[in-house]
Amino acid sequence: MDLSHRVAVVTGGASGIGRAVAAAMAKRNVKAVALVDMSESVHLVAEELNQQAAEPFAQAFQGNVVDPQFRAEVYDSVSARHGLVSLCVPAAGITRDDLAVRVDRISGKARIYPEEHFRAVVDINLIAPIYWALEMIGRIAEDRTARGLKRWHPEERVQGSVVFIGSISSAGNRGQISYASTKAGLEGAAATILKEAMFYGVRCSLIHPGFTDTPMVRKLGPEYITKNILPFTQLGRLISPEEIADAICFMLANSAVSGELWVDAGWHASA
Ligand SMILES: NC(=O)c1ccc[n+]([C@@H]2O[C@H](COP(=O)([O-])OP(=O)(O)OC[C@H]3O[C@@H](n4cnc5c(N)ncnc54)[C@H](O)[C@@H]3O)[C@@H](O)[C@H]2O)c1
């Protein structure tokens, strides 16, 4: 599937992996990228990306990915201007790390992981990416129906492609009960969409990045990274966001890819 002249939606586009995906798409001549993020910096990032590219391609949308009205507005706006969206990389994500159960040394009482943190992580990391993908698939399905097309046929070009961002934490990681659950949850969603959306000619796959050099990982602090991450990573360094973006573009473009790809720099968990 040739990415050139396609229209894309990338959430979490103001930072880390999302930003790198948008930059990588520009190199592959994607026509337009809706760069979605709740951070105000998304406007500046879009400006910077446009300055670095041969032609302006990024349009910033500031808002919360859990808001369905915002989601519809982004799709309405970008498709009215550039045509149907056919690439979706919903990369916005958060962590709320803590042990699942922690016993207070003095009181001896157990404190279990706060439910409100769990729900926030599920909303942003699991439900939102699924719905940003479904929004694209729904619009492709509607467009096909309007053109009298039914089941997609292999002689047609592939109509669209989704890459969800999982994580090595989907296999379980101490201190990440909510994050790991959402990333594992995306496996079920991707496998289901893979089965259903091909009716409309849309592919879906899932990447599991290892520890990548973004603000999400940097906030763990240099000491934590040196002690707990690098010794268990065969490459002995963090992965660059550009390496993950390159793998995502490969997954979007190569229509034979189905399922999951681990891009973890040889991560082998300690326990
Ligand atoms: N960095 C890693 O090591 C790593 C590893 C595996 C998976 N991932 C996943 O990759 C994705 C991108 O992570 P990153 O490392 O680039 O993180 P990051 O913190 O650099 O970027 C995440 C972006 O998402 C945005 N965001 C968060 N909540 C939002 C919301 N409700 N609405 C709109 N925007 C929101 C933030 O503002 C931020 O710009 C996430 O899904 C993350 O779980 C990261």
List the residue whose alpha carbon is closest to atom 7 of ligand 1.
Answer: 167
What are the chain's domains? 7-263 (3.40.50.720)
**pLDDT value of residue 270:** 77
**pLDDT over 70, % of the chain:** 100
pLDDT at 181 exceeding the cut of 80: yes
Nearest CA to ligand 1 atom 14: 16
> Rounded mean pLDDT of the chain?
97
- Residue 17 beta carbon below 6 angstroms from any ligand 1 atom: yes
CA-CA distances (angstroms) from residue 229 to 175, 180, 192, 194, 216?
A: 14, 17, 32, 32, 14
- Express each pLDDT in 211-268 by its tens digit: 999 999 999 999 999 999 999 999 999 999 999 999 999 999 999 999 999 999 999 9
180: Cβ below 6 Å to ligand 1?
no
Q: In this predicted model, what pLDDT tens digit does every residue of 57-68 receive, in sequence order?
A: 999 999 999 999
Query: Residue 11 pLDDT more than 90?
Result: yes
**Contact status, residue 196 vs residue 151, Cβ threshold 8 Å:** no
Distance 11 CA to ligand 1 centre (A): 9
